[in-house]
Structure 1
Amino acid sequence: MALKVSSVYSQSLQIDSINLFISEQAEKFHIPGIAACVIKGDEIVWSKAYGYADIETEKPMSTESVINIASISKTITATAVMQLWEEKKLDLNADINTYLDFDVRNPQHPKTPITIKQLLTHTSSIADGSSLKIGFECGDPTVELKDWLRAYLATDGKYYYPDENFHQKAPDSLREYSNVGFGLLGLIVQEVSGMPFHEYVRLNIFEPLKMNNSGYFLNEVEEDELATAYLYLGPLQRNLNHFDKKILPYFNPYCHYSFWNYPDGLVRTSVQDLAKFAIAYMNDGTFKEKQILKKETIDFMMSPQLNEKINADKDQGLCWFQSPSLFPTWYHGGSDPGVSTRMYVNKEDKISVIVFQNANEDNSFFIIRKLYETFK
């Protein structure tokens, strides 16, 4: 009995330490709200939220609060691509023009095809030009995905600026992060499947995983659960409680925005819902007997894909990145106006950690590390 009491006491101290650490992070980096969870095996073993989902209404952040998770969304786009690959409906090494009704070529290297694998590993030579910012707007996208990408990538497109939209180096000779590339992957899924990209994801990923409050567009999620994204504008008054409503003048709330290139970063979901996706990746592609990918496919995605010449750390998988500090964990992070997110998945030890913040300070790694080291 004494040992059991000691164990409970030790666990309580660990939780107190976590609460104190996350509260300090919130104050130091001016984060209105934080939601996090730790998953082991096939269940959440710890989850908690701190602060506000909305400061003005004093709505508390919860693990069911929904935010756009920015570039973590790319792991879902990659999952959709690999589902079609498993079905032999696309070839990772094929010219992407095989699947499009307009041609995409780097104008500096017009004879060199761009492949799906290059899009998945950020080696396509497609760059994020200044036109990418035009697509940000309040509400849902007002321009169709295909129309946007055609305008950006086709030689007669409205936003076709060769020097901005493409790198000088040839495909497969440079790794440079590309949001546009993942928008293009979403379009390929759309073209190959014959349905809008967001519908494909809903039917083939969200519904099988019972991610019931997840989607890309505002009408796909519960409005009452939406968290507000914030930009911090001024000094925090240290004599005030960090989560006091009086700090509102220091934070600028963003609208619930979207962008035309939405497959690269517009998944709206909660920590509770995304945990189901992480569980599937840790358990050979399966969540509650629903399989979204084969084990072999996940092993393939979570393995180094590039040579040392263009990826010295050998940390680039298919979409996923390998963490050098939490080996052998694979992860993806996200950052967009007013949001910062991270998801780490260790499929060998079957532990995953997720952190959402409704501010775009990139401190969430420190929280991830604290939780990972506490629960591993």
Structure 2
Amino acid sequence: MKKTNKILLLLTMSLSLINLSCSTSDDAVKIDDFFDLDTELIARDFSGVVLVAQNDNILFNKAYGRKNNQENGFNDINTVFDMGSITKQFTAAGILKLEMQNELTVNDSLSKYFDAVPNDKKNITIHQLLTHSSGLVVGIGGDYETITEEAFLDQVFDSELISPVGERFNYSNIGYSLLGLIIEKVSGMDYESFLNLEIFEPSNMHHTGYIIPDWETNEVANGYLNGVENNKPNEENWSDNGPYLNLKGNGGILTRANDLLLWSQSIMNNTVLDEATTSKYLYPHFEPTNIYDSYGYGWGIENNDSENKLVLHGGTTDFFASDMWIYPNKGITIIVLSNEFKESVYTIAGAISNFLLAK
């Protein structure tokens, strides 16, 4: 499945699954307690990990299915998955960390960081890259395609805009790859090294990254498609520094559910970003988005002005699917990670959300 098609499918699913209590589809999930959730996940042959927490209390944390075809190759709560486009929230946080350090501003334009930017793109701002309002296309190549920085930039700058700059929401992976390059240019560090220093280590996320974590042999899950085992994500065509630019910065970071909970707590405790910057991070900067009520910086945002404000983002690859929902005013975090590409990650997160909000 081409990346563009996967993203369009993700958008369609997100639109229809945010309010699952109104759904009548056969795939809808309704649960009254966590026993119901466990029963439903087993019945669906779900493969992955589900973690639910409120503040510092873990309400549910269980693994299902297989991470590989070895004799004892079952998923456990510490299995590492490809988080897909959840990666974008870390790229956005990295940009805001540099702004906190007075190294850049989100109002900076592409022409400040790249040479020979064509006229139609030279005034695209970091803010517009963060909010998918740059007018750039979704992508220019496959996730694991070998591509140099020079070739990547040439293709991006030669591509036609699909809407005027700043006017419409158009989900763009290459926009976030450009943000990853800006992080490297400003910090003088490799993208992953910067995230590891400024985000992962302060948040005690020692099992998150591309190549920096010392992955154990069976720690990372293999992907599955229709029951057939495929490669681990880090067994694909990566460079010595992790994915090439069609993926780096916009997807592909590996993690486990417990690390994402630490990240949620880091956000709510202002561990990495100060309070003012966190507010900017989770602010509804652009609407309408055709996915969520609005889009912040690497996050979809629903119900911004209510007690039930929700910030969320999902991710998909050919073999993995993930979703992360945070209710910052209630301290609720819902994490669903799977090593199968299935719509159920979104229905599962939505059902948990409906159950918790109804309590």
TM-score between both structures, scaled by the size of structure 2: 0.80
Cα RMSD over matched residues? Answer: 2.5
- 2:65 counterpart SS class: strand
Residue pairs, 1:85-234, within 5 angstroms: 85-100=99-114, 102-105=115-118, 109=120, 113-129=123-139, 131-133=140-142, 135-136=143-144, 147-148=148-149, 150-154=150-154, 159=155, 162=158, 165-217=159-211, 220-232=214-226
Select 1:23's aligned residue among 33, 38, 42: 42
Letter in 2 for 1:339: F
Query: Do the aligned partners of residues 347 and 55 (structure 1) sit closer, same or farther apart at CA in structure 2, a change above 3 Å counting?
Result: same
Instruction: Describe the superposition over 1:202-250 as per-residue Cα deviations: whole angstroms up to 9, x where unpaired.
Output: 1111111111111112764333211011111xxxxxxxxxxxxxxxxx4
Structure 1 residue aligned with 2:62: 48
Task: Give the Cα separation in 1 of the matches to 2:328 and 2:196.
Answer: 24
Structure 2 residue aligned with 1:242: none
**Contact (CA 8 Å) 1:53, 1:227: kept in 2 or not?**
yes
Letter in 1 for 2:35: D
Give the superposition deviation at 1:254: 3.1
The percentage of aligned residue pairs carrying the same residue is 25
- 1:54 counterpart SS class: coil
**Contact (CA 8 Å) 1:305, 1:314: kept in 2 or not?**
no
Residue pairs, 1:272-351, within 5 angstroms: 272-283=258-269, 285=270, 291-308=271-288, 314-323=293-302, 327-351=308-332
Instruction: Describe the superposition over 1:286-341 as per-residue Cα deviations: whole angstroms up to 9, x where unpaired.
Output: xxxxx200122122221211255x76964111221014699411101000120000
Task: Note if 1:37 corresponds to 2:51.
Answer: yes
**Contact (CA 8 Å) 2:176, 2:250: kept in 1 or not?**
yes
Give the superposition deviation at 1:25: 3.0
**Contact (CA 8 Å) 2:206, 2:259: kept in 1 or not?**
yes
Structure 1 residue aligned with 2:244: 260
| Further displaced range: 78-87 or 299-308 | 299-308
**Contact (CA 8 Å) 2:117, 2:157: kept in 1 or not?**
no
**Contact (CA 8 Å) 2:52, 2:335: kept in 1 or not?**
yes
**Count of residue pairs the alignment pairs up:** 315
Query: Do the aligned partners of residues 338 and 311 (structure 1) sit closer, same or farther apart at CA in structure 2, a change above 3 Å counting?
Result: closer
**Contact (CA 8 Å) 2:316, 2:322: kept in 1 or not?**
yes
Give the superposition deviation at 1:192: 0.4
Q: Which runs of 5+ in 2 are unaligned?
A: 1-31
TM-score between both structures, scaled by the size of structure 1: 0.77
Give the superposition deviation at 1:19: 0.7
Instruction: Describe the superposition over 1:30-81 as per-residue Cα deviations: whole angstroms up to 9, x where unpaired.
Output: x4x2201112113433211111111344411112101111000111111111
**Contact (CA 8 Å) 1:43, 1:279: kept in 2 or not?**
no
Q: Which runs of 5+ in 1 are unaligned?
A: 1-12, 233-249, 286-290
Task: Give the Cα separation in 2 of the matches to 1:217 and 1:312.
Answer: 32
Structure number with greater Rg is 1
